[in-house]
């Protein structure tokens, strides 16, 4: 019991959770001058019936951060964008359809938006997006997702034969960590970051060792 208590305490401190999260977020550097012919934005959760301008449904914090980075990149390069993510659970929103509404509201032209709204996980994201890439002859895709999620995402795209330029977004922790006694104060936010990081490590292990 004491070991369980100690583990719970460590996971709830920003010092320990920061190390876990930073180990994932440091896998890829943000490209200084990104180049590509299409931007891929992966979904990351959404509500289904919450009111918003122009419709129902909101993206989660991580998903919204991915979209924000993706739109800035799309505007800079003036290339099409592929938004990927379906309705994962019965009480969640269709991520790609909600994102399409937001992109149109932000001024992205309809003919530059490609929608993949059937996938339920990262593996299916890669498989379904590959079809869109092949049909439209896109050769140099840029992948936008959360920095902590990038390694697993790149793995799945590599697995289906798609080479992407990683463009990490939605960072959860600082690149450089300052040591202080406050870093050992437990908090719900730190516990959540630990949970996210552990989920990614388990997901990556499953991606590598589990045959589909």
User: Would you state the structure tokens that stand for residue 179, as one six-digit string?
Assistant: 């040591």
Query: Which pLDDT does position 210 carry in this prediction?
Result: 76
pLDDT string in tens for the chain (212-residue length): 688 899 999 999 999 999 999 999 999 999 999 999 999 999 999 999 999 888 999 999 999 999 999 999 999 999 999 999 999 999 999 999 999 999 999 999 999 999 999 999 999 999 999 999 999 999 999 999 999 999 999 999 999 999 999 999 999 999 988 888 888 999 999 999 999 999 999 999 998 887 65
Query: Which pLDDT does position 205 carry in this prediction?
Result: 93
Q: How far apart are CA 48 and CA 187, in angstroms?
A: 29
Residue in 139, 131, 154 with CA at minimum distance from that of residue 42: 154
Helical (H) or strand (E) element with 35: none
The neighbouring-strand residues paired with 47 are 92
> Pseudo-torsion of CA 114, 85, 130, 73, nearest 10°?
60
Sketch the domain layout of the chain as residue ranges: 32-173
**Residues 167, 37, 159, CA angle at the centre, nearest 5°?**
60
According to the 3-state scheme, what is the secondary structure of 134-166?
HHCCCCCEEEEEEHHHHHHHHHHHHHCCCCCEE
Query: pTM for the complete prediction?
Result: 0.93
Query: Which pLDDT does position 182 carry in this prediction?
Result: 87
> How many CB atoms sit inside 10 A of residue 188's CB?
8
Query: Which pLDDT does position 212 carry in this prediction?
Result: 57
Query: Which pLDDT does position 211 carry in this prediction?
Result: 66
Domain 32-173 has CATH 1.10.10.10: no
User: Would you state the structure tokens that stand for residue 201, as one six-digit string?
Assistant: 């490590």
Query: Which pLDDT does position 1 carry in this prediction?
Result: 66
């Amino acid at each position: 019991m004491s070991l369980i208590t100690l583990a719970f305490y460590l996971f709830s401190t920003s010092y320990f959770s920061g190390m876990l999260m930073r180990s994932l977020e440091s896998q890829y550097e943000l490209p200084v001058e990104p180049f590509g012919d299409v931007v891929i934005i992966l979904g990351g959760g959404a509500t289904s019936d919450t009111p918003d301008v122009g419709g129902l449904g909101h993206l989660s914090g991580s998903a919204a951060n991915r979209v924000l980075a993706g739109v800035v990149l799309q505007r800079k390069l003036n290339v099409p964008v592929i938004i990927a993510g379906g309705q994962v659970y019965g009480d969640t929103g269709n991520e790609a359809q909600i994102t399409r509404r937001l992109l149109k509201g932000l001024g992205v032209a309809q003919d530059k938006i490609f929608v993949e709204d059937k996938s339920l996980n990262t593996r299916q994201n890669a498989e379904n997006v590959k079809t869109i890439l092949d049909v439209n002859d896109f050769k140099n895709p840029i992948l936008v997702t959360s920095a902590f999620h990038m390694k697993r995402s790149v793995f799945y795209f590599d697995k289906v034969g798609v080479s992407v330029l990683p463009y990490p977004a939605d960072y959860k922790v600082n690149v450089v960590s300052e040591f202080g006694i406050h870093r050992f104060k437990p908090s719900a936010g730190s516990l959540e970051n630990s949970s996210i990081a552990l989920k990614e490590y388990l997901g990556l292990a499953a991606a590598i060792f589990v045959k589909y």
